Structure 1
Amino acid sequence: MSRTLLTGLRLPGRPGPVAIETEAGRVTWTGAAERARGRGDARVEDLDGVLLTSPFVDAHVHTTASGLLLDGLDLTRCATAAGVLAAVAAAAGTTPSAGVVWGHGWEEDRWSGPPPSRAELDRAAAGRAVYLSRIDVHSALASTALVDRAPGAVGTAGWSPTGPLSADAHHHVRRAALAALDPAQRRSAQRAFLDHAASRGVAEVHECAGPEISGRADLADLLAGGHGVHVVGYWGEAVDTRDAARALRAETGARGLAGDLFVDGSLGSRTAALHTPYRDAPGWTGNRYLDPDVLAAHLAACTRAGIQGGFHVIGEAAVEDAVAALEEAARRTSPAAVRAARHRLEHLEMVDAGQAARLAALGVVASVQPLFDAAWGGPDGMYAARLGADRARGMNPFRTLDEAGVVLALGSDSPVTPLDPWATVRAAAAHRTPSSSVDEATALAAHTAGGRHAAGGAGTPVPESGGPASYALWDGTRCLRTVREGHVLHDAGGDPAE
């Protein structure tokens, strides 16, 4: 790779133009633009005011499911149950009889009536298998033809003979829907999403895989895909010994045994674990999927193995279980060993200041999604409907976590919210509860360096001399170029600089 000098660049929050020189995948020099003259025989590209950042890291994605929806059945704009049924009917007409109509994004809170019944879905699908995940991917509408492929779903937790499926019943039908994908479809969906990520200035994604959300074959294909976007794999399955942790990581190729290892579910599907009941479901406090002893054993085993562990936690009861398990793992091993492992918690939507301080003391990373607040926060949002306005104001307290010293790693949970890094930064800085917001510089750092820290690395919000030649170039929020270690992943102008 030739030596390249990019001049006329801007850095976030800094005055004056700058220049950056790269060679062989490394940054060899950075400095003021006027000092860039006379830098030898480098290929010069004057970019005249283009913004330079480190590439973004999306710390929580589901690649195959996201890729399937790039040209699939997007239900996020459906305003009624009838709209969902019409979309299914249109898709069923072009889906092979052995295939699955795969859709995502319905959200009944935005409608005036209930979700479609299974009988209505069967009629719209003309007998085809249909899997339609709710916006939070913690429940789904499934046709009878798909339920027939997942007989284990019937009668399990979350089963309904007529309506949406959640909990274990949902996991059964999701596995059946994924099993219907052939390897070529799966790999095509994965590549499509990673291409999309690169076009948004994202050069690294953290895939949160597991037996209940995707599967080993899916993760293996993704890790072997060879795409320029770096994929960090996590596998959500509990272990109880050091040797079991090491064996499972070796078998899956995952970086850690974390991500979507579910302590509880989601607020939208009323499966997040609460101490006090849901406002709109009196007497119901959600689901706990793992016992506290299992949580502590998993974290202790991962710590002893030197492997990053962690969980999906949303509700206040689940958060308390996870924090207690981390402290128990520190007692069984040592606080220093737990800190060294950089265990991570996904979502962490209902955490208080005391819990944040306890997490910071143990070096835990908070993998959080600011677009959740943009979508569901505020006095009239889904959080308020589920919890009441007073409890909802405490959701997603990014400033509390940051001020306690917890490292934030921002992500999308795509396809739950879109992979859109600048919208994510803005959402973190414009929280619906202003006291929970962070400034844009903090949010940018959390969406770049924070993500790399979450996967065991290091970095800065802007490229630095001596570091890898990894950067993104921006015209406003439009990505002009994404480069990782000298390799161009996306170039809007078709004129790669490397």
Structure 2
Amino acid sequence: MSASSDSTFPPHVSATPNAASGAETTLWRSKSVVSPVSRDADAIQTTGEFITWVGRASEAPASDTTVDLGATVVTPAFVDSHAHMLFTGSELSNPSLSAATSAESFLDIVASHAATLAPSDPVILRGWDETTWADATFPETEKLVNAAGGRDYYFPRACGHIGLASPSLVAAHPQLAQLDGYDAGGIMRQAAHRATFSLLTRHVGLSLRQSWNSAALKHAASLGVAAVVECAISTDDPYCEQDFQQLLALGERSDHPAVFGWWAELCAAEKARDLGAYGCGGDLNMDGSIGARTAALKEPYFDEESTSGHLYLTADQVHEHLLDCRRFGLPAAFHSIGDAATATVIDAFHKLAAHVDVEEIRLARHRVEHCEMVDKDLIAGLVKYGLYASVQPSFDAAWGGLEKMYASRLGKQRSLEANPLASLAGVGVPLAFGSDSPVTAIDPWGGVRAAVHLHNPTQRLGMATAFAAATRGGWRALGIDDAGAIMPGQRAHFAAWEIAQDSLDATGLPDIADQSVATPRCGATVSSGHLIHQN
């Protein structure tokens, strides 16, 4: 790809009043452009952060600069609507326990990484999933201590809702024993998990955090992502707030994707606003995860009938949070996976609607993060209050169906019903796709493919619907309605893809409904008119 001055076109004509006066114009040329206003487009003109023209390059208005994107297909860029940049960057920079296939390989990864650390450094690795092992047995504590070289350690599971703590860490912090989810053997859940994790993340300084955040953002840009929705959680980590603000500042730079931050703290909308957050909530946990058996279910777990998970907030608490967000003009969002958790959220909205006009509630664009296991009654509640479903189709690809983790935890029927994407989309619940990275990897095309190929055939989305949820849906969930399509007046967020011409469907998108079609390779990503990735 190359950029050059090009003055061979007719005089410049601005196609939208939204373009910044005096801003530089750029013509982006490619093999083809997926646009609703021009079926044979192969060029885009941008002025500042807006698209001002789309069409054939031979008919383009004059521009200050021309960028040749080569033989690529240009589409709207992706939005990752739920992610965790710090931990994503950490996994890019350190080994991941997701590679473990047994207790023995788990120990090997720990020992190899511990050997690179100073004697006083704690060992923090995440990502294990025992349901993928032939023998789903945790490593023995004594062997873990030896593998870590006697250091403090904490190993969160892939879901991020349970972890293995070293005996030395548990002994040094007796306050952990007072928290819900504490286990003297070191298997931490609920509040004990969150507190234990924050004890060790405080060892990661701001400089290293910034490098991890930047690495994660650049990685997202390399995959065609123009914006990331960060779901930060308030913890006792003394760097937590500074890290959040530092990440937001990285998102304002012209070489990174945009960052929209959620601050997850109950009834803390004023604080969230002052930190620069987009909204208050996000990963404000109603419950935990299916893998950790802490997602709050209406019926007990299939493989452990003694528990139905854990509900962390009541409907009254959610109602108070909604009032607090309303007071400071911020949207709210809730991490809700189990059906009992989402039922509690809907109950809180019923309470709110008793004294707040429903149309006002709908205009706020509140969200439910993950939004799994919802039945017809819960979906009706989502529709009534205009709630956005921020979902991760990659969860179904990783754990859904009749043979994987969801089936073992929930039983086969509930596993197939866990991600009712077609039921949601079919009645108008707006969808926004995310990864929950590093729970599952940032892989936007993989998320689209997962939605098109859900394990439950009756809940599969069409290609156009899935792609819209991964692009325009993410912007609309953020209250940004002039983004997500390549047409004049829209914000200039797009990506160029290397893909064979015979792999395209009638709309010009890659036909990934065909499993044999390879995942497109990103050649360039543009966010707000700035080139943030170039291959």
Length-normalised TM-score, structure 1? 0.93
Following superposition, the deviation at residue 5 of structure 1 comes to 4.2
C-alpha contact 2:195 2:236 (8 A) present in aligned 1: no
Is the CA contact (8 Å cut-off) linking 2:483 and 2:492 kept in structure 1? no
Distance 1:220 1:41 in 2: 36
Partner of 2:248: 223
Determine if the alignment matches structure 1 residue 4 to structure 2 residue 27.
Answer: yes
Letter in 2 for 1:82: E
Match of 1:335 in 2: 358
Which deviations, in whole Å up to 9, do the C-alpha atoms of 1:411-436 show, x marking residues without a partner? 00000000010011110111000111
Within-5 A mapping of 1:165-244: 165-212=188-235, 215-225=240-250, 226-227=252-253, 228-239=256-267
Judge conservation of contact 2:127–2:439 (CA < 8 Å) in 1: yes
Alignment of 1:427 onto 2:450? yes
Provide the rounded CA distance (Å) in 2 between the counterparts of 1:84 and 1:25.
47
| Structure 2 residue 532 is the aligned partner of structure 1 residue 489 | yes
Structure 1 residue identity aligned to 2:164: L
For 2:66 and 2:276, how far apart are their aligned partners in 1?
Answer: 40
349-358 or 461-470: which moved more?
461-470
CA contact (8 A) 1:88 1:125 kept: yes
Aligned to 1:66: 88
Once the two structures are TM-superposed, the CA of residue 373 in structure 1 deviates from its matched residue by 0.1
Conserved? CA contact 1:139–1:165, under 8 Å: yes
Equivalent residue, structure 2, for 1:54: 76
> Is contact 2:288-2:295 (8 Å) kept?
yes
How far is 1:2 from its partner?
Answer: 4.4
Aligned counterpart, 2:15: none
For 2:260, the aligned partner's letter is: V
Say which SS state the counterpart of residue 296 (structure 1) adopts.
helix
State which of 375, 379, 386 in structure 2 corresponds to 1:352.
375
Match of 1:496 in 2: none
* Distance 1:150-1:3 versus aligned 2 partners, 3 A rule: same
Matching residue's letter, 1:63: M
Question: What is the alpha-carbon distance in structure 2 between the residues aligned to residue 248 and residue 291 of structure 1?
Answer: 22
Distance 1:229 1:61, change over 3 A: same
Measured in 2, the distance between the counterparts of 1:113 and 1:293 equals 39
Q: Give the distance between the partners of 1:70 and 1:406, measured in 2 at CA.
A: 34
Once the two structures are superposed, the pairs formed by residues 14-29 of structure 1 within 5 Å of their partners are 16-29=40-53
After superposition, residues 81-480 of structure 1 pair within 5 angstroms as 81-111=103-133, 112-148=135-171, 150-212=173-235, 215-225=240-250, 226-227=252-253, 228-239=256-267, 245=269, 247-476=270-499, 477-480=520-523
Q: Deviations over 1:336-392 (max 9, x none)?
A: 221111111100111012211221121111100000000011100111101111111
Which residue of structure 1 aligns with residue 61 of structure 2? 39
Against the structure 1 CA distance between its residues 337 and 25, is the aligned structure 2 distance closer, same or farther, given a 3 Å change threshold? closer
Deviation at 1:224, TM superposition (A): 2.6
Which amino acid letter does the alignment assign opposite residue 216 of structure 1?
E
Q: Match for 1:229: what amino acid?
A: P
Deviations 1:138-181 (Å, cap 9, x if unpaired)? 01112234335543222422122224211111011111121111
Shift of 1:47: 4.8
Farther off after superposition, 332-341 or 379-388? 332-341
Deviation at 1:55, TM superposition (A): 1.4
Give aligned pairs, total.
485
Q: Is the 8 A contact 1:119 1:162 kept in 2?
A: no
Contact 1:5–1:42, Cα closer than 8 Å, also in 2: no
The alpha-carbon deviation at position 48 of structure 1 amounts to 6.0
Cα-to-partner distance string for 1:226-283 (whole Å, 9 max, x where unaligned): 44211111011111xxxx63x2223322111121101110000000011111111112
After TM superposition, give the deviation of residue 190 of structure 1 in Å.
0.5
Q: Which residue of 1 aligns with 2:14?
A: none
Structure 2 letter corresponding to 1:387: L
Say whether the 8 Å CA contact 1:353–1:401 is kept in structure 2.
no
Whole-Å separation in 1 of the counterparts to 2:136 and 2:396: 24
Are 2:337 and 2:371, in contact at CA under 8 Å, matched by a contact in 1? Answer: yes
Q: Report SS of the residue matched to 1:264.
A: coil
Q: 1:491 deviation in Å? A: 0.4
Unaligned 5+ runs, structure 2: 1-23, 500-519
Give percent identity, aligned residues only.
38
SS in 2 for 1:416: coil
